[in-house]
C-alpha cells in the first residue's frame, strides 16, 4: 500500500544511486527515475542533485526525508500490528551495528531469533556509532547497537560495560609487567579509528596524557592491529573487539580500568512495532544469559 515513489526515494537515499536503488527494489532504473520525477512533480521541487558521481539530497529533499521515512515506517508498523492481531509473527527488523557486534553477537542473535520467528525478515547494516544513531533517529533502521549515543529523542537501552585495553607490539612490556601506566605511554604514538577518538576512548587518552600529536588513524580494527604488529604504535580496543587477535601483538589492561557502554537505540515510533519489540526483548535476553553481571572484562 505504500506509494512506490516514497520507497524509491528512501532507497535512493540509502544507496546513493538510482541504479543500485533499482537493484535493491528489483525494478528497472527507469522505473525508479520515473517514480522520483513523479514525486518531484507532486511536491513542486527537486529532491535530488544528479551528477556523474551519483546523487545527493537537495536541501528540500533533506527536509522531507524524515517525513517520508515516517510514512514508510508507520505503514510497516500497521502491517506488523495487523499480523500480530491475527496471530502471525510477520514483519521485518532492520538492524544497525558496529563491526565487533556484527562479528561477535549478531550471528548468534539472528540465528536464535529466526528459530523463534522464521517469518520476520531481518537485515543488517554495519556502520559507525554516529551513523547508527542518526539512522535510528530518522527511522532507516529499526534498532541499533552503538556506544555513547548523544542524539536526543532516542530510546537508549544500556546492554553491557565493555572494558578497554591497550594493544601493543609483542616486543613491548609494561614497566610493572602487568598493566599500562602513564610512564609506559610516554613518547608512544597511538593508532585509532577516527570515529573512536571521542567518548570513552578519549577519556583514556586524556588520563594517560596522550596528545593529538601522538595519534595516527586507521580504517578499521584489523588495519589498526596490523599497524601495531608492525610496531608503528599502540592501539586501544574494547574486549568485544579482541576475539581474533593476530600473532605479534599483546593485550594489557590499563592500571585504571575504563569501560565503554554498549547501548541499543530505537526511536519512539519503531519501538511500537511488534517485530522490533520482539527483537529488543530477544537481545536483552541474549546479553543477560551471556554476561550475567553486565560486564565484559
Q: What is the pLDDT of residues 22-42, one digit of tens each?
A: 888 888 888 888 888 888 888
Separation of alpha carbons 19 and 32, rounded Å:
8
- Contact at 8 Å (CB) between 221 and 194? no
What's residue 195's pLDDT? 67
Residues 238/297, Cβ–Cβ less than 8 Å: no
Q: What pLDDT does 186 receive?
A: 87
Q: Which three cell numbers stand for residue 200?
A: 570513552
The number of C-alpha atoms within 13 Å of 137 and in the hemisphere containing its C-beta is 13
Low-confidence ranges of the chain (pLDDT < 70): 1-2, 84-89, 149, 195-198
**Stated pTM of the model:** 0.72
The C-alpha cell of 30 is what?
A: 527507469
Residue 151, pLDDT score: 74
Rounded distance between C-alpha atoms, residue 297 and residue 106, angstroms: 20
Residues 130 and 175: their CA atoms lie apart, in Å, by: 37
Amino acid at each position: 500500500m505504500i506509494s512506490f515513489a516514497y520507497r524509491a526515494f528512501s532507497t535512493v537515499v540509502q544507496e546513493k544511486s538510482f541504479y543500485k536503488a533499482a537493484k535493491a527494489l528489483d525494478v528497472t532504473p527507469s522505473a525508479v527515475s520515473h517514480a522520483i520525477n513523479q514525486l518531484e512533480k507532486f511536491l513542486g521541487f527537486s529532491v535530488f542533485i544528479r551528477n556523474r558521481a551519483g546523487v545527493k539530497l537537495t536541501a528540500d529533499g533533506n527536509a522531507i526525508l524524515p517525513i517520508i521515512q515516517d510514512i514508510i515506517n508507520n505503514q510497516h508498523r500497521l502491517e506488523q500490528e495487523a499480523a500480530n492481531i491475527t496471530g502471525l509473527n510477520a514483519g521485518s527488523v532492520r538492524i544497525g551495528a558496529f563491526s565487533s557486534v556484527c562479528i561477535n553477537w549478531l550471528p548468534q542473535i539472528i540465528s536464535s531469533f529466526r528459530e523463534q520467528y522464521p517469518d520476520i525478515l531481518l537485515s543488517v547494516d554495519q556502520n559507525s556509532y554516529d551513523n547508527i544513531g542518526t539512522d535510528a533517529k530518522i527511522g532507516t533502521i529499526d534498532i541499533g547497537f552503538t556506544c555513547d549515543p548523544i542524539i536526543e529523542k532516542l530510546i537508549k537501552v544500556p546492554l553491557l560495560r565493555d572494558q578497554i585495553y591497550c594493544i601493543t607490539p609483542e616486543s613491548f612490556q609494561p614497566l610493572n609487567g602487568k598493566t599500562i601506566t602513564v610512564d609506559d605511554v610516554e613518547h608512544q604514538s597511538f593508532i585509532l579509528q577516527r570515529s573512536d577518538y571521542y567518548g570513552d576512548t578519549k577519556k583514556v587518552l586524556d588520563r594517560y596524557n596522550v596528545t593529538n600529536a601522538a595519534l595516527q588513524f586507521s580504517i578499521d580494527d584489523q588495519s589498526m592491529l596490523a599497524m601495531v604488529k608492525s610496531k608503528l604504535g599502540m592501539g586501544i580496543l574494547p574486549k568485544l573487539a579482541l576475539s581474533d587477535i593476530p600473532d605479534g601483538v599483546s593485550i594489557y589492561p590499563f592500571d585504571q580500568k575504563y569501560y565503554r557502554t554498549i547501548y541499543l537505540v530505537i526511536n519512539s515510533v519503531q519501538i511500537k512495532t511488534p517485530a522490533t519489540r520482539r527483537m529488543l526483548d530477544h537481545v536483552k535476553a541474549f546479553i543477560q544469559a551471556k554476561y550475567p553481571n553486565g560486564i565484559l572484562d
